[in-house]
Amino acid sequence: MKRRSETKENYLKSILHHSPNGEKVSNNQIATHLGTTPASVTDMFNKLRKDELVDYKARKGVSLSDKGRKVALGILRKHRLWE
């Protein structure tokens, strides 16, 4: 499995947290949750889109792709085991 940065993992978990049913999440929601700027969120969404982990369109929001949802759920399971 390809190793992802902790930052990417945090974004995936945040998107999953705000969108448990797959609805679109705004940049501002994620920026507030992670304590960063909307511009930084946009940059990361574009990176995650290139990795095929999210479906993102500017000003429309972001949702996890099927692949991204599997990765995010795997990250959550891993973190729960550590706890």
Rounded to two decimals, what is the model's pTM?
A: 0.88
Per the DSSP assignment, residues forming a β-bridge with 61 are 57
Among 21, 22, 18, 16, CA closest to 71: 16
CA dihedral 19, 20, 22, 23 (to 10 degrees): -40
Note the pLDDT tens digit of each residue in 18-39: 998 889 999 999 999 999 999 9
Tokens (6 digits) for 61: 């929001």
* pLDDT recorded at residue 82: 61
H runs (alpha helix) in 1-83: 6-18, 27-34, 38-50, 66-82
Note the pLDDT tens digit of each residue in 33-65: 999 999 999 999 999 999 999 999 989 999 999
Distance from C-alpha of 21 to C-alpha of 46, rounded to nearest angstrom: 22
